[in-house]
Amino acid sequence: MNTLLWSCQALLALLFGYSGFCKSIFSERVLIEKKGQTGVAGLPAAFIRFIGISEIMGAAGIILPWMLGVAAVLTPVTAVCFAVIMVFAARIHYRLHEPKNVTTNLVALVMSIFIAYFRFAEL
């Protein structure tokens, strides 16, 4: 079970780390046209950067606290935050008629809930 949890945590860290990195360095136009991140359409550049930095911090938060044993509660809390974000992201992509993105959001949602449930149980 621990291996499965760590695998899910690593996948979420990669997903959010990549997304955050892209939002931190690319323009809105590049994000939409080349990276497929259509959910940022119409958002101010500063807000897109804020989201990107938050996603990078979340990528660290899903791994480091549990791995280091320092404030380990932050790992399942991060997973809960990811789950909330994925609910809203799925809704946005559903309205944009993007079933592939909705599926990705729902898979990330399930993984986040899985991590949150079992990591909270281990505290």
Residue 22 is predicted with a pLDDT of 97
CB 51 within 8 A of CB 23: yes
Taking the CB of residue 63, how many other CB atoms lie within 10 A of it? Answer: 18
CA dist 122 to 33, 34, 58, 119, Å? 42, 41, 20, 5
Average pLDDT of the chain, as a whole number: 97
Beta strands in 29-87 (DSSP E): none
Residues 20 and 66: their CA atoms lie apart, in Å, by 21
**pTM of the full predicted structure?**
0.94
Q: Using one digit for the tens of pLDDT, what is the confidence trace for 61-77?
A: 999 999 999 999 999 99
